[in-house]
Chains A and B, each alone.
Chain A
Amino acid sequence: MANGLVIAAKATIVNGSTGDSLILIIAFILLLILLKHFAWKPVVKMMDDRQKKISDDLDGAADSRAKAEAMAAKRQAELKNSKAEAIQIVNTAKTNGEKRRDQIVSDAQTEASQVKDKAHADADQVRTEALNSARAEVGQIAIDIAESLIKKDLDTQDQQNLIDAYIKGLTNADETK
């Protein structure tokens, strides 16, 4: 058996078929060309593309993360601002309302006092007028009473004087009219 091995090995080397080498080189070079064209280029291109895409995506993700964080911070700040603003608005409204209330109250008070004063003045006037008219009437009544009393006691002379005076008064009254 060992003998057979040696013989086989010898046979392979001695009968070395140089054509096989040629065939191998041709086949291998053809294989290289065909595989490069049909498989290697598209696959490697895709692998490179994928690698590029992944790194781009990672960069993009980092970017959007940073953006989102900035946005969140901004929102937070805005929220705080708007809270302060709201408080300010409420405060302003409160002060405004108080002012307004005070003004209304004071206005009402002044108005009321004015009305009161006016009423007082009116009342005084009415009383004065009433007194005056009452005085005049009382005077008239007194005169009438006096007249009716005097009619009996007056002599003609006096009566004449009185009549004159009266006529004079009438003329004066006419003139004034």
Chain B
Amino acid sequence: MENKYQYLTFLGLTFNVANCLSIILTALVVFFLVFFLSRKITMRPGKRQNVLEYLIDFSNGIVKSIMPGDEGKPFYFYIFVLFLFLLVSNILGLFLEIKVNGFTYTKSPTADPMVTMPLALMSLVLSHYYGAEKYGFKGYLSNFARPVGFMLPMNLIEEFTNFLTLSLRLYGNIFAGEVLIGLLVMMTQGAGLSGVFGSIAAIPLMMVWQGFSVFIGAVQAYIFATLTCVYFSRKITRE
């Protein structure tokens, strides 16, 4: 793993150019994919509209599996975008890797904790927001002392562990996938195992691992969306 990244510093913040480009690329891919699919919306759906409606039904299904009924309706859209964004960003690094002068410019943005953390943060902040909206600020605060008062420290710790597990699970899975792909690429270049044999052996391995990584990326996107729903539902329901 010899990925080198270019860093920019602006207003005291450090920007990893590869991450920024990948995030923007992912956002563009998701936007234009959905934009392209959502042209010509008709009562009798065409092919594109069917695909889009299938995606929407799928993400709605994630919410419905946690929150059946109308209480899940405000989250449909957020979960839809979150799922698509994660799916594309998890898979992006598998087929697109641009290196210029030894610097990597695109990769899976979710292979960086600095990207998965704000995603988890957004989900959790939203869950707190909806909790406060439903029960009022007092009710929201009192929910930390439920079901019994001495659970308060446990509930507070849980908020942090939720945040960490949600972000680091995604980061770990995708990062591991990228690392292994990088290793396999190195093998095909003959840098790992011995020469020609290594290259030949690495090609099927790489194909298998890439396929598996697509699977992992999809599963992780699904898990992230599902857990976000779980956190939402916990905040808007009382045991």
Contacts and interface: CB of A to CB of B under 8 A. Distances in A.
A22 B15 CA distance: 9
**Binding site of B, secondary structure by majority: helix, strand, loop or mixed?**
helix
A43 B35 CA distance: 11
A20 B38 contact: no
B183 A1 contact: yes
B16 A19 contact: yes
Contacts of A20: 15-16, 19-20, 23, 109, 112, 114-115
Interface of B: 1-3, 5, 7-8, 10, 13-16, 19-20, 23-24, 26-27, 30-31, 34-35, 37-38, 41-43, 45, 49, 52-53, 56, 76-78, 80-81, 85, 109, 112-115, 117-119, 122, 175, 179, 183, 192
29 contacts: A1-B183, A1-B192, A9-B175, A12-B112, A15-B7, A15-B16, A16-B113, A17-B112, A17-B114, A18-B14, A19-B10, A20-B114, A20-B115, A23-B19, A23-B23, A24-B118, A27-B23, A31-B81, A32-B81, A34-B31, A38-B31, A39-B52, A40-B80, A43-B49, A43-B52, A43-B53, A44-B76, A46-B42, A53-B43
A32 to B, nearest CB: 5
Contacts of B113: 12-13, 16
A43 B3 CA distance: 41
B52 A19 contact: no
Interface in A69-104: none
Given A27-B24, A31-B31, A38 B38 contact: yes
A25 B1 CA distance: 28
A157 interface: no
A13 B76 CA distance: 33
A28 B78 CA distance: 10
A154 interface: no
Contacts of A42: 38, 41
- Chain A contact patch, size range: 35 or more
A35 B13 CA distance: 28
Given A31-B27, A38-B34, 15 more contacts: A8-B179, A9-B175, A15-B5, A15-B7, A15-B14, A16-B14, A16-B113, A17-B13, A18-B114, A20-B112, A21-B115, A35-B80, A36-B77, A39-B34, A47-B53
Nearest 9 CB-CB pairs, A to B? A19-B15, A39-B38, A19-B13, A17-B16, A8-B1, A21-B118, A17-B14, A20-B19, A27-B27
A165 B175 CA distance: 179
Contacts, number: 124
B13 to A, nearest CB: 4
A146 interface: no
A53 B45 CA distance: 14
**Binding site of A, secondary structure by majority: helix, strand, loop or mixed?**
helix
Contacts of A16: 14, 113-114
Contacts of A18: 13-14, 114
Contacts of B1: 4-5, 7-8
Contacts of A122: none
A83 to B, nearest CB: 48
B239 to A, nearest CB: 30
A40 B77 contact: yes
A49 interface: yes
A90 B43 CA distance: 59
A36 B15 CA distance: 28
Contacts of A7: 1
